[in-house]
Structure 1
Amino acid sequence: MPPSKKSPLDSINSSSISSKRKLQDQPSSSRNPSIANPSTTAALTISPSSSKRLKTSHSGGNPQKAADMSKLLARSQSKPIDRIDLTGRGNSNFQPHTGAKRLVIKNLRTVPHTDKQIYYTNIWNEIDSAITSVFNKDKAAPAYHPLSRKVEDICRRGRASDLASHLKDRCKAYLEKELLPVIEKNAGSSGVEALGAVHQYWTEWNDKSSLLRSIFSFLDQTYLLHTKDCIRLEEQGIQLFRHAVFTKGKASGGSSLGEKIVLGICDLVKYDRLADQEHFDAGLLKQSIAMFHIFGIYGKLFEPMFLNLSRKYFESFVRGQTNSSLKDYIHLCDRLLAREALRCDTYNFDSTTKRALLDSAHKTLIDERSSVLLDPTGVSKLIEANEILSLKALYQLLALSKIQQNLKKPFESHIKSFGSAIVRDVDHIDSMVQRLLELKRSLDIIIRDGFDKDEKFSYSLRDAFGNFINDRQNTSAWGTNNSKVGEMIAKYMDLLLRSGLKAVPRSLTSDAKDRDAAEKQGQASTGDEDAELDRQLEHALELFRFIEGKDVFEAFYKKDLARRLLMARSASQDAERSMLAKLKSECGFTFTHNLEQMFKDQELARDEMISYKQSLSNTSKTTLDLQVSVLSLAAWPTYPKVPVNIPSEVSRHLEKYEAHYKRKHTGRKLEWKHALSHSVVVANFKKGKKELLVSAFQAIVLVLFNDIGPKTEGKPESLSYVDIQTATGLVDAELQRTLQSLACTKLKILHKHPKGRDVNPTDTFTVNTAFTDPKFRIKINQIQLKETTEDNKETHERVYQDRQYETQAAIVRIMKSRKTMTHQNLMAEVINQTKARGAVEPAEIKKNLEKLIEKEYIERGEGATYVYVS
């Protein structure tokens, strides 16, 4: 086959087959030792002019060799041919490990060296012209995409270093000699104008730099990426622009252009702080901060200057608020800090800048002004005005500097001052507990909503309340040695247990948060009235916990409880027993022993009456329903005996009951307390029958009018004051308040002549036969005598005496167990054991020690010691 008709592929395949056959015909010992190395299996020589048709060389057109070649080709057509895929795209059957193969291709035409030099020179010129077009933003510039292929050719020729240096020099020259003068010209006189000009031309340069990176992408991704001392084009463009502006650039007046644009950003922040919307440009500020981050000069140039100017701004702000009130200063500081933090977040300030800025603000606005923020007078005004929002802002400001605990001192000072004023207020003694509860409730709300439920402030509140409640100076204002607060708490609880929620002022009613919290804890439903009453009693009990001397509370609570039980005036028996359980849990069994005995006496009295009525049912029947409560004298308060003439029928029943009781309980004596009794009287009026719930004294007076008939029968139709007093035997005080309750109130059962609010010995009384009321059973309240100063003082004196006996008992008990003690140790032990019942002064303890020495319970030992006398 002639050579001109062979394809390049046929030539390659024929040569490879011939070479293979020759290798196979050789003995194994004479084969090339390089067969084992796959890298030496073939040798291929290709001229640069790869686009030309490949030709194979034959030995001078020898006919014999041509005939051999024809036979070889015919044989290759009958057997599979091992083809070598030089393109690498197909599935090659080339097996390098089967043996060494040698492929020689000759007669390839090459390009002359002079033609290549001209070619690369033209490419270089095109690239340089393209750079100029990019700088000048030439719209008629050539297509940039083919240029990237030419850049690749230059880089592959080994001139990547020269090309990189040339590009850098062109960019540097353009920035410093062409663009920088334009920027300086348009910089203006102010920093904001200079900043705007720099940002404008930086945006343009960034676009040009991006276009250059696309043209020189091969250079950027190969040579610059893998060369240690070179930087990539993006970073190079940033460095060159930064060097031109911040190193070479000059502003008007000879100052540095870089410093001027940094001041421009600071000026924008200043305009924002002053709310100068005319000069403030939010977009420019945000873009400038991003530009400084790109330049890498944010932390080096901008941040120090910004923080320094900000510190001066905070100082000037503080100087401007010298005459402001604490409330105004708190809110202004809070608003300023919020705006500073928001600005940092909105305009992408660095987190370290924000932290340093706020730290500087905290130091200037809070730390250095802590004496103003913690001023007791200012804080007290905020608490008194219940400025929860201001107090919350104050707490949060102090928390920013971690000095919020310093607020406890003015907080406690306010509590002690206002609490002492309430306790000493003699003119408003009846509202003492209500005002204390209102004070505590307002403080609890402040802690809950203003101080973030900080437990340390709750502890401070309890300490402050305990301090002023037990302060001797506050107690001395009432002329007693005991706590007046304990007495008033007992009376307030009596009011709640008698009247229920009607006695609770609106200011003390639980709000939605309190009710929800109670409901979540499983205490009670938000709409349960009994639960609300229980919560109010719990609030009063919280005040009770602050009292050191609880014996005064016990005495008055016992007195009021007895009246409620005997007069059936409790609003809720469940509330009574719940309160008793709370006191027992708080103070122990000994404190509530007598109170529990009072409830037991009531139960035993009911059982006793059932037994008495059963005994009467076997003998006779009567229309009078007698109810008697037998009370143990030790558990109940002592009551004065008031003389009164009991109606004969009632007296006979009392005698029967007394006889019945003494038959069952020998050795016991009954003493009747008619002043504590009450009755149900059936009255017939013109408009119908009514049942009147009255006291025993009221019933005795009303029964007298049964003996008065019509005037026509010759009997008087009225009774005089003297007649009533003679018939009842009541003293003036009791008779006057009894007649006043029947004739001078809204429900007038009797008519008084002459009319008036006061009862005089010259008055006369008649039955109001025209009395009417929609209810069938009507309660006529007895006018209660107000507790006199003498009665109150007597109760306090009795408590004081009991405290002396308890102190002496504690001394004997301690000495009996220790036998010998020093004076100081004995004093400390006595105070510790008696503080739960009542605070005892050291001077009182010494007096009791002397009494016990006189009674020979103890004696003095050597030195300052005491010895127990067994």
Structure 2
Amino acid sequence: MSAIVQGKRPEVIDLTRGGGGMVKRPAFLQPHMGARKLVIKNLRPSTPTQAAGVNEYYTRTRAELDAALTAIFAGRQTAQPMERLYRGVEDLCRKGDASDLARTLNDRCEAHLAGDAVLGRILADGGGGGGGGGDNVAVLRSVLGQWKAWTGQLMTVRWMYSYLDRTFLLSNKNLPGINDMGISQFRRAVFSSRGKGGGGGGGEPTAAVVGTPGERVLTAMCELVDYDRRGDDRFDAGLLKDAVTMLRLFGVYGKKFEPKFLAESHDYFVRFAEDRSVSDGLKDYIIACERLLRREGNRCDTYNFDSTTKRQLRDDAHKILIERYSAKLLDGGSVATLLGDNDLASVKALYDLLRLSGIQKRLKEPWEAYIRQAGAAIVSDTTRGDEMIIRLLELRRILDIMIRDAFNKDEDFTYGLREAFGYFVNDRKITAAWNTGTSKVGEMIAKYIDMLLRGGLKTLPKTLLSDNRDRADAEKSGVASTGDEDAELDRQLDQGLELFRFVQGKDVFEAFYKKDLARRLLMGRSASQDAERNMLSKLKSECGSSFTHNLEQMFKDHEMVKEEMSSYKEWMAGTGRPTSGIDLSVSILSAAAWPSYADVRVLLPEEVLEQITHFDSYYKSKHTGRRLTWKHNLAHCVVRARFDRGPKELLVSSFQAVVLVLFNEVENKDGGVLSFDQILQATGMADAELQRTLQSLACAKVRVLTKHPKGRDVNKTDTFTVNRAFADPKYRVKINQIQLKETKEENKETHERVAADRQFETQAAIVRIMKSRKTMTHNQLVAEVINQTKSRGPWIRRILRRILRS
């Protein structure tokens, strides 16, 4: 049909041109003329024949669309091209039949899904109709197969009804789009309470009845999870993952599957915990729980479970496996076994488990109990007293690594470690086994540091040395690398100082440390003077200058030797006195700063005695009112000796030198033989001291004397000669004096002296306070004395009570 529209326009005459002619010009804008007149030509009305042809076209189009749907649902190719079908849908929509077309499509899809082709086949594959029999996993597999087929069919339908979907359904509030309609209908067909043939309306699905395909799908998914938990070969990972994706698309995951899955998981966790708690020890239970939680989390991630499902599952597992069985996890005996075995992996797993429920702080109690028990066993072990500090440091090292690697450097456990160490180090009941009355730990720390400063790192077991993690931490913190020997020695001194901080009676440490320091300074036994100075600096920083005052004086006295001897030589040169070929070096020690030493009787050679007399005269002329007390048992010297294989210089103690010099007098008479009694009479030494000296010269590794008869022990009937065949690759040979171990009497005397010093110190504090205050109450006196002496340790209270009571 065509139409021609012709408009008649008014004309005007234009007289503006020359020549008297007239020109006609159309007037395009004549508002005062009103609307233009339109004339439509060739418009013919439709005839009955034409109307019948149009209706036939629409009827044929509907039939073609219906046939196409039948073919699509049957999985066949459509008879008509997709373009023609699309145009047919468009023409029907333009005609105004979009609503009917949408309802027809909805009915066809719903009938297909609820019929034998889909729902019937699902029930048949399950092997049990609607009664719930058969294999649930087979039902799930069938549902997934039908769903995948339906999604392909639905995509083809959407292509064919694309115009309807875009122009009518998109803006219609009552009818869903084709994709949403297809999902909703499949969901109702599977999860509807009416089972086969059910489904109607477009609302949310009602609750599933047990035995419907939807309920069996949920059951099958839980069965697959159970297969995975038990390691059953029937587990199908791809099937479970696709099923979760399908349920999430249907919108029934959170409403139907999640509650069922969590309920069955809860029952599984309860059974698991009951079985494991009875059959497994703590270590095995920890490993089993850790493995279970890791697998549950990985399953949720792998098969696309919702994060809310994972969180609820994890919280429920934590509550059942950890909180409900916290008594087992925190059992002191079981935890102590793990710590005693140094089972770092299990302790870390235990801490991580407890942290999941936020109760990891409760592990601090069995942690401290174990440390107290282990530490008390070490401190009270009187058979291994020499190893006490090494064992304590090894225990501390293990515990520090636990805190670092297992407890994630949790400060609460560090604090608990310090509290536990402070308890057993100062507990009088624990240290009572030593029967010293004062701190045995303080004494052994002083001896440990003496060993470290004398022998260096070679005296330590490898377990105490730094590992790679310690070196990395040291580099990060900017301090010297512990791979350096000096830095490692400094770190080991710090470790000893850490133990020293726990000791409340620090005066015991001071007494023994002073004795050992004096021996190292006087006999030149320090491995490193820098380390000595470093340790003194650490003690000063830790305890204050009053604590290290005497120790610093000892260093000053030791350093004054060169200056004093230079002045002495100038004095000797001024007086013109002979030196007798003896190079004398004297260390002058302040009696108040240095330890007291017993006087040991010995008869010195005349040349040495003469030089001592000269120095005594020099010192008295320089200092009036001072007196020198010679401690020959601390002296050492260098003796030149001639042997058949060449001369040697022997580094010996003063007692060894006195004995060796005697052989000069019998070199050419009596065969060069001296008996024990002759040596005893000539030296004036005590029997025990002489035996020890002769044993070092004749029975040790370096033998410059020969004993007759041979043997390892020295008897009073033995005789001695010079070993002229002595040979050594070194020109200067050091002969160590056999050191007597500190006797019980000497050790007890040191402890008693410390106790006496405490008494005197307390009495002096009382006198000072009473002189300054004149009058005060008893309670005020007690409080003031404690305040002035509290830095010395808690022992002040006991002594104060004893003094005031007497």
- TM > 0.5: yes
Alpha carbons of structure 1 residues 99 and 637: separation in structure 2 relative to 1, 3 Å? farther
Question: Quick one: which of 634, 647, 665 aligns to 2:592?
Answer: 634
**1:229-628 alignment runs, 5 A limit:** 229-247=174-192, 248-249=194-195, 255-277=211-233, 279-321=234-276, 322-618=278-574, 619=576, 622=579, 623-628=581-586
* Cα deviation code 1:262-288 (max 9, x no counterpart): 0000000000001112x1111100000
Match of 1:181 in 2: 120
**1:834-849 alignment runs, 5 A limit:** 834-840=789-795, 842-849=797-804
How far is the alpha carbon of 1:660 from its aligned partner?
1.4
- Contact 2:789-2:796 within 8 A present in 1 as well: no
The aligned amino acid for 1:249 is G
Moved more, 175-184 or 818-827: 818-827
Match of 2:205 in 1: none
Instruction: Work out the CA distance in 1 between the residues paired with 2:340 and 2:34.
Output: 105
Instruction: Work out the CA distance in 2 between the residues paired with 1:763 and 1:649.
Output: 28
How far is the alpha carbon of 1:107 from its aligned partner?
1.9
How far is the alpha carbon of 1:743 from its aligned partner?
0.9
Instruction: Work out the CA distance in 1 between the residues paired with 2:115 and 2:363.
Output: 63
Task: Tell whether 2:45 aligns with 1:107.
Answer: no
* Cα deviation code 1:209-264 (max 9, x no counterpart): 1111111112112221111222111111111111111113369x982221111000
Alpha carbons of structure 1 residues 363 and 203: separation in structure 2 relative to 1, 3 Å? same
Match of 1:131 in 2: 69
- Contact 1:803-1:838 within 8 A present in 2 as well: no
Three-state SS of the structure 1 residue aligned to 2:647 is strand
Match of 1:735 in 2: 690
Instruction: Work out the CA distance in 2 between the residues paired with 1:631 and 1:320.
Output: 75
How far is the alpha carbon of 1:586 from its aligned partner?
0.5
Instruction: Work out the CA distance in 1 between the residues paired with 2:782 and 2:240.
Output: 75
**1:159-178 alignment runs, 5 A limit:** 159-178=97-116
How far is the alpha carbon of 1:824 from its aligned partner?
5.9
Instruction: Work out the CA distance in 2 between the residues paired with 1:95 and 1:364.
Output: 93
- Contact 1:549-1:835 within 8 A present in 2 as well: no
How far is the alpha carbon of 1:108 from its aligned partner?
3.2
How far is the alpha carbon of 1:146 from its aligned partner?
2.1
Which protein has the larger Cα radius of gyration, Structure 1 or Structure 2? Answer: 1
* Cα deviation code 1:789-835 (max 9, x no counterpart): 11111111111111122233444556677777766676566556544
Match of 2:200 in 1: none
- Contact 1:470-1:548 within 8 A present in 2 as well: yes
Instruction: Work out the CA distance in 2 between the residues paired with 1:254 and 1:848.
Output: 88
Moved more, 191-200 or 526-535: 526-535
Task: Tell whether 2:726 aligns with 1:726.
Answer: no
Alpha carbons of structure 1 residues 255 and 479: separation in structure 2 relative to 1, 3 Å? same
Alpha carbons of structure 1 residues 507 and 243: separation in structure 2 relative to 1, 3 Å? same
- Contact 2:169-2:175 within 8 A present in 1 as well: yes
How far is the alpha carbon of 1:555 from its aligned partner?
0.3
Instruction: Work out the CA distance in 2 between the residues paired with 1:821 and 1:226.
Output: 99
Instruction: Work out the CA distance in 2 between the residues paired with 1:821 and 1:517.
Output: 55
- Contact 1:392-1:451 within 8 A present in 2 as well: yes
- Contact 1:693-1:780 within 8 A present in 2 as well: yes
- Contact 2:68-2:78 within 8 A present in 1 as well: no
Three-state SS of the structure 1 residue aligned to 2:794 is coil
Instruction: Work out the CA distance in 1 between the residues paired with 2:765 and 2:56.
Output: 122
Question: Quick one: which of 692, 695, 715 aligns to 1:760?
Answer: 715
Instruction: Work out the CA distance in 2 between the residues paired with 1:815 and 1:216.
Output: 111
How many residue pairs get matched?
Answer: 774
Unaligned segments of structure 2, at least 5 residues: 15-20, 128-133, 198-208
Question: RMSD over aligned Cα, in angstroms?
Answer: 2.7
Alpha carbons of structure 1 residues 727 and 162: separation in structure 2 relative to 1, 3 Å? same
Moved more, 531-540 or 407-416: 531-540
Question: Quick one: which of 86, 89, 92 aligns to 1:154?
Answer: 92
The aligned amino acid for 2:582 is L
- Contact 2:85-2:160 within 8 A present in 1 as well: yes
* Cα deviation code 1:536-564 (max 9, x no counterpart): 11111111111111010000000100010
- Contact 1:549-1:836 within 8 A present in 2 as well: no
How far is the alpha carbon of 1:387 from its aligned partner?
0.7
Instruction: Work out the CA distance in 1 between the residues paired with 2:30 and 2:552.
Output: 110
Alpha carbons of structure 1 residues 349 and 109: separation in structure 2 relative to 1, 3 Å? same
Instruction: Work out the CA distance in 1 between the residues paired with 2:338 and 2:220.
Output: 42
Instruction: Work out the CA distance in 2 between the residues paired with 1:482 and 1:749.
Output: 44
How far is the alpha carbon of 1:846 from its aligned partner?
1.6
**1:220-235 alignment runs, 5 A limit:** 220-235=165-180
Moved more, 138-147 or 674-683: 138-147
Question: Quick one: which of 597, 612, 633 aligns to 1:675?
Answer: 633
- Contact 1:548-1:836 within 8 A present in 2 as well: no
How far is the alpha carbon of 1:505 from its aligned partner?
1.3
Alpha carbons of structure 1 residues 828 and 137: separation in structure 2 relative to 1, 3 Å? farther
- Contact 1:550-1:836 within 8 A present in 2 as well: no
Alpha carbons of structure 1 residues 210 and 813: separation in structure 2 relative to 1, 3 Å? farther
Match of 1:652 in 2: 610
Unaligned segments of structure 1, at least 5 residues: 1-7, 27-70, 83-93, 852-870
- Contact 1:420-1:468 within 8 A present in 2 as well: yes
How far is the alpha carbon of 1:480 from its aligned partner?
2.1
How far is the alpha carbon of 1:526 from its aligned partner?
4.0
**1:44-83 alignment runs, 5 A limit:** none
Match of 2:17 in 1: none
* Cα deviation code 1:548-586 (max 9, x no counterpart): 110100000001000100011101000000000000000
Alpha carbons of structure 1 residues 576 and 640: separation in structure 2 relative to 1, 3 Å? same
- Contact 1:548-1:835 within 8 A present in 2 as well: no
How far is the alpha carbon of 1:177 from its aligned partner?
2.2
Q: What's the TM-score once normalised by structure 2's chain length?
A: 0.92
- Contact 2:13-2:24 within 8 A present in 1 as well: no
Q: What's the TM-score once normalised by structure 1's chain length?
A: 0.85
Three-state SS of the structure 2 residue aligned to 1:778 is strand
Match of 2:141 in 1: 196
Alpha carbons of structure 1 residues 154 and 666: separation in structure 2 relative to 1, 3 Å? same
Instruction: Work out the CA distance in 2 between the residues paired with 1:238 and 1:95.
Output: 63
The aligned amino acid for 1:666 is T
Moved more, 496-505 or 681-690: 496-505
Instruction: Work out the CA distance in 1 between the residues paired with 2:509 and 2:472.
Output: 32
Task: Tell whether 2:766 aligns with 1:808.
Answer: no
Instruction: Work out the CA distance in 2 between the residues paired with 1:480 and 1:273.
Output: 62
Instruction: Work out the CA distance in 2 between the residues paired with 1:603 and 1:824.
Output: 48
Three-state SS of the structure 2 residue aligned to 1:105 is strand
* Cα deviation code 1:825-865 (max 9, x no counterpart): 765665565443233164432222246xxxxxxxxxxxxxx
Three-state SS of the structure 2 residue aligned to 1:635 is coil
Alpha carbons of structure 1 residues 254 and 578: separation in structure 2 relative to 1, 3 Å? closer
Task: Tell whether 2:642 aligns with 1:707.
Answer: no
Three-state SS of the structure 1 residue aligned to 2:170 is helix
Question: Quick one: which of 637, 657, 662 aligns to 2:620?
Answer: 662
* Cα deviation code 1:10-50 (max 9, x no counterpart): x76xx46x53x55x899xxxxxxxxxxxxxxxxxxxxxxxx
How far is the alpha carbon of 1:162 from its aligned partner?
1.1
Three-state SS of the structure 2 residue aligned to 1:782 is coil
